[in-house]
Chains A and B, each alone.
Chain A
């Protein structure tokens, strides 16, 4: 079946602009995660959605970052007023109920100029 998909695959934006990154999880997976992979910081957890529960936002680096998950499926990560330090690969992962494995998408490479 289809894996986790993310769009766009690459995004170049100017400093100060807002960007939206999209994640389509594997159908039926109840948990959805966003991570960020950047040079010098490694892989960092950003936010976690589990079913209808309130999301765990403990990894969001600032209030410029927000995410939503509509209908328990697709998720959008929004970065407002982008800064150069936001340049990174943003990874989405989903996990089935009761499972351990997180299935990762190919990522969105964000470059802020």
Chain B
């Protein structure tokens, strides 16, 4: 079945540091890939998405590229801010089997001054 593996947290960075959160997936067919973010006390929000190989999703300075050859969708940001502190979830949507999202376990990011 479909699965998503992302790096365990927590990840602690100083403000303005470079961020990478690794995500790899296993799926049949051609899934769409997503990063969702959950800020403290809030619901899940879509951060960015990519629907086919080599697509790059980007939003709020975050980027992720859909790499079919390595089945990866790593999240990156060049300079994190304290306000980026949140839990980040990688997810896939395999419309070939069902339309439900399959999530990774989430990675907590803590950014300090």
Contact = CB atoms under 8 A, between A and B. Distances in A.
Majority SS at the chain B contact face:
strand
Nearest to B100: A45
B43 A48 contact: no
Majority SS at the chain A contact face:
strand
Given A48-B98, A100-B93, A43 B42 contact: no
A43 B43 contact: no
Interface residues of A, number: 22
Contact of A42 (B45, B99, B103): B103
A38 to B, nearest CB: 11
Interface of B: 32, 34, 36, 42-46, 49, 51, 89, 93, 98-106
Interface of A: 31, 33, 35, 42-43, 45, 48, 50, 56, 58-59, 91, 93, 95, 100-107
